[in-house]
Each structure stands twice: as C-alpha cells, then as structure tokens.
Amino acid sequence: MAISERHAQQLDRTAARPDQQVPNVVEFRGVSMQFNSGDMGLEDATFSIRRGEFVFLVGHTGSGKSTIMRLLIKEHEPTAGSIRVAGHDLAKLDRKKVPYYRRNLGIVFQDFKLLPDRTVHDNVAYALQVTGGHRKEIRAKVPDILRLTGLSTKLHNFPDQLSGGEQQRVAVARAFVNHPPLLIADEPTGNLDPETSIGIMQLLYRINRTGTTVVVATHDHAMVDRMRRRVIELNGGRVVRDELTAGYRQDEVSTGEFGALLREPAPAPRRLPDPGDLFDDAF
C-alpha cells in the first residue's frame, strides 16, 4: 500500500509506545569478510538493528561501511559469522531467490543508478514492474510516492533534465515505492550540496517514520551530529563505536520540524510495522 502525503502527516503525529517489544531487522554475529587479496573488509562485527530504527554507519574510506552494505544485499558472502535479516539467515537463502530478496529491500546508491532513457515516472514504476506489479497498482502507487518525495511536477522529465538532488529523490522514491521493511542508503548525500542534503535526509526521516528501518552509510559527520540518531562507527573493518548520539530522544516531531532541527541541532524518532512478511517467500 502506498504512503500518501496525508498518511505521512498522520504518522508525523503518531508516537511509538515505549513498552512496545521491538524485534531485530538486522543481526550481525561475529561477521568477518576477507577479500581474495587478503585484506579484511570486516572483522568480527557484532551488532543488531531493531525494527524502525534510523542508523548511521560512519568511518573513513575502507573502514567497512560499504562491505556491510554489500553483505546485506548478498553481493558478498561473509567468511565467518552469521547475518540475519527479518529473522532469516542469509546463508540459507538460495542463490535463485537472491533477486527476489533484493526486490524487497530499498537500496539507494550515491550515483543514483537511474535508467537514463526512462522518465521519472517510469524509473519509479520499473521497481513495481520487476516485482510483478499490475497496471492498476502502478497507476495508484507511482503518483503517490512522487508526491511524497516532492517530484509530482517532474514525472515526465528524464534524469538528465534533473538536478543532482532531484535525481537522488527519484532514487529514493524508487527504493521506497514497495514500502520495504528495510532501506539501505550508501552515501546518499555524497555528491550533493548541504541544503540539498538536508532535503534528502528529511525524506529519509519521513520514510523512517512510516515504519521502514533505515540504514545510511555516510562520511558526512556534521549531518550525523545534527540528526542525533544511532551511530555505528567502523575503523579498519572493526566496530569501534555503537551508541545513540547525545540528545537522542523518543518523542516525535513532524518532518517539517525535523528539517528545522537539521539546521539547529535537536533529535526525533519513528513508528514501527512488522517487517517479516515481505521476506518470507524468499526463504
């Protein structure tokens, strides 16, 4: 079901119950990844990410952030340890079902990876087509997600007619149109100016507020400090810090207020759905 603007505004006013039992969406247990060159991409990483969290992976180039992302989408296989997503052991996922598994993740890349010969509408619709979406579903969902991401006036434009920020919004819209339980973004603001970056983070925040767990790998420490979410820091393939940054709190703010907080530091969290169902058929 697509998330309308009105629905998103309602979610902005909904607070999570503090006594709610929150299961893990991602679990890494003693995970190591050694490349053929002998270099360690990840070493004995252990952490869990709960349903509905917004988590930053931070660290210098080569620290292990991208390795975690590639392990999550099964582009790499760990050399040790176990990875579970929505309660399922990725080691037991049949290779034939990997494409289906990936279609139930939201994936956003720094370089957008848009189809250059397709319009904004068709780039987003493609994500529904590959998962078997019918024309009626596409007609309903695509305009809705374009409104949510601020692209409703750009639906007939091609990628080369858009700014970098608009292209990234298309990439986010495409990743979210199936309302995945887990969205991962690798350096989503890496090529964007500061103000455009704030807009992208506001959008990811709104998506997180609909219940989707969001994991963002980034070099942008200033943005991380302003957002005040959970931070997992890596160095040389090892997890060296895992904490909620100062000022993190459980009361919720609207997306508009959150944008103001990015310019004037202060915190805010999210709402929680059940992520497991979409993954079940892949296992």
Q: What is the pLDDT of residues 89-108, one digit of tens each?
A: 999 999 999 988 998 899 99
Q: What is the pLDDT of residue 103?
A: 85
Q: What is the pLDDT of residue 263?
A: 64
Name the 3-class secondary structure at 280. helix
When the pLDDT of each residue in the chain is averaged and rounded to a whole number, the result is 83
Residue type, 213: T
Residue type, 61: T
Domains parsed from the chain with CATH numbers: 5-11+52-73+104-271 (3.40.50.300)
What is the tens place of the pLDDT at every residue in 65-92?
999 999 999 999 999 999 999 999 999 9
User: Tokens standing for 110?
Assistant: 């720094």
13: pLDDT strictly greater than 60: no
User: Tokens standing for 223?
Assistant: 């943005």
1-10, 13-22, 253-262: range with highest mean pLDDT: 253-262
Name the 3-class secondary structure at 186. strand
Residue type, 41: G
pTM of the model: 0.80
Closest by CA to 119, choosing from 174, 158, 149, 147, is 158
Closest by CA to 262, choosing from 229, 234, 226, is 226
Residue 8 near residue 255, CB atoms below 8 Å? yes
Q: What is the pLDDT of residue 2?
A: 40
User: Tokens standing for 195?
Assistant: 């103000």
User: Tokens standing for 241?
Assistant: 């810090």
Q: What is the pLDDT of residue 220?
A: 81
Sheet holding 88-89, edge to edge: 40-50, 24-34, 80-85, 88-89
Mean pLDDT of the 10-31 span: 65
163: pLDDT strictly greater than 80: yes
Classify residue 185 by burial, with Cβ atoms within 10 Å: 0-12, 13-18, 19+.
buried
CA gap 71, 83 in Å, rounded: 8
DSSP-assigned letters across all residues of 52-75: T-EEEEE-STTSSHHHHHHHHTTS
